[in-house]
Amino acid sequence: MLSLVSQSHPKVTQAQADAVCSRRCVSFILRATIGGLLGEKAQIAAAKDICQAIWKLKKVVDAVMCDGNLETRLGSTDVAASQHMLVCALQELGNLIHGLGTTAAPLLQDSSAGVLDSVISVILHPSMSVRLTAAWCLHCIAVALPSYLTPLLDRCLERLTVLKSSPEAVTGFSFAVAALLGAVKHCPLGIPHGKGKIILTLAEDLLCSATQNSRLSAQRTQAGWLLIAALMTLGPAVVSHHLARVLLLWKCVFPVSPKDLETEKSRGDSFTWQVTLEGRAGALCAIKSFVSHCGDLLTEEVIQRLLPPLPCAVDLLTRLSSIIKTYGSPLKTPSVVYRQRLYELLILLPPETYEGMCVLYTKVFSCLSLVQCREIITE
């Protein structure tokens, strides 16, 4: 079944849209058959077979990645084909373990199957979709077997710390940590209280070091804010101890005044603006996560500390079109993400937040004009 999205059927995965549709079809068939028709023993056997398939695909990718020619590595059909097969395999493996629950414990304890090692090994895959699906699979494992949550979290944090000079590792293991933090609410015992401090410190380190290496700027920026957004899902009991540090990070990511924003607009290039938009979109996402999961901490004092960046965030929104015209189409996707994150946050904020902010209203309404809506659709 996995071979339907393999190199042997190139037309199926030739275009991105075709590949996505093909993956969805294969995943549906796998779920309907393995998940719907087989009993527990057969499902465990199927999970072992899927793990073997993952190991085989990983070996193919490893062989290609060992090639010293970067162009050959990036353009290899083996790597391109493996991503679709791995996404389907990881999705079904995650679904199987989630459905089996504690019954899957012997499967994870079986060293010959190597379930955890197989999933973690593909977190470094060149394809973003594979890394994301592997993280989701770890989430399913943690929800099904809560005793694995903390060990998996420790393992991913350690890998992220050690391999933070690798773009794939930074994105992959930050996905994994975020996915595991998302599983905490499903696990009665949670995680040790001190993990919050460790995660925030790592996030700060990633954000601070993002400017030190241009090759890693975007990845470290995305990862840092993703970890902070995921940390917010742990709720007020954890976040309250770190709120002052997080508020300072939010304050620093936006210009202090419109004048600073205007000065900023005249500096930099397409790449620096791309990283800037990624960072600010990530910060807005983290604020949104805070508002969604830490309502008890949203006091009047905290709201007043959250408000100052908003006018500048909206002001930047009104300037996105001119920035894209100046620096080119590579900024289109980051600008759409930024716009979406800002709108999502504005919807969540309490109505009293906007008292006395008529200018903010006007700018938001202008951005929602018919012309702007057409730009969103075309982008």
Over the stretch 39-54, which tens digit does the pLDDT of each residue have? 899 999 999 999 998 9
Mean of pLDDT values over 267-274? 83
Q: pLDDT tens, 71-93?
A: 445 445 667 778 888 998 999 99
What pLDDT is attached to residue 254?
85
Q: pLDDT tens, 182-218?
A: 999 998 888 998 999 999 999 999 999 988 878 889 9
Classified as helix, coil or strand, 38 is coil
What pLDDT is attached to residue 356?
58
Taking the C-alpha atoms of residue 168 and residue 215, their distance in angstroms, rounded to an integer, is 11
Is the per-residue pLDDT at 332 higher than 50? yes
Q: pLDDT tens, 256-270?
A: 777 777 777 777 788
Is the per-residue pLDDT at 96 higher than 80? yes
Is the per-residue pLDDT at 103 higher than 80? yes
**CB-based contacts of 53: which residues, under 8 Å, 6+ apart?**
2, 85, 89
Higher pLDDT, 170 or 373: 170
What pLDDT is attached to residue 1?
62
Classified as helix, coil or strand, 255 is coil
What pLDDT is attached to residue 320?
84
What pLDDT is attached to residue 135?
96
What pLDDT is attached to residue 9?
61
Q: pLDDT tens, 241-258?
A: 999 999 999 888 888 777
Q: 326 pLDDT band (50/70/90 cuts)?
A: confident
Contact 268, 240 (CB under 8 A): no
Taking the C-alpha atoms of residue 306 and residue 271, their distance in angstroms, rounded to an integer, is 28
What pLDDT is attached to residue 371?
40
What pLDDT is attached to residue 77?
62
Q: 343 pLDDT band (50/70/90 cuts)?
A: confident
Q: 22 pLDDT band (50/70/90 cuts)?
A: confident
Higher pLDDT, 77 or 304: 304
Taking the C-alpha atoms of residue 266 and residue 276, their distance in angstroms, rounded to an integer, is 14
Is the per-residue pLDDT at 69 higher than 50? no
Q: 369 pLDDT band (50/70/90 cuts)?
A: low
In a 13 Å sphere around the CA of 116, the CA atoms on its Cβ side amount to 18
Please give the single-letter amino acid code of residue 21: C
Taking the C-alpha atoms of residue 147 and residue 116, their distance in angstroms, rounded to an integer, is 13
Taking the C-alpha atoms of residue 247 and residue 242, their distance in angstroms, rounded to an integer, is 9
pTM > 0.85: yes
Q: 17 pLDDT band (50/70/90 cuts)?
A: confident
Q: 363 pLDDT band (50/70/90 cuts)?
A: low
Taking the C-alpha atoms of residue 121 and residue 56, their distance in angstroms, rounded to an integer, is 12
**The tokens 């949670």 sit on which residue?**
190
The enclosing H or E element of 29 equals helix 16-30
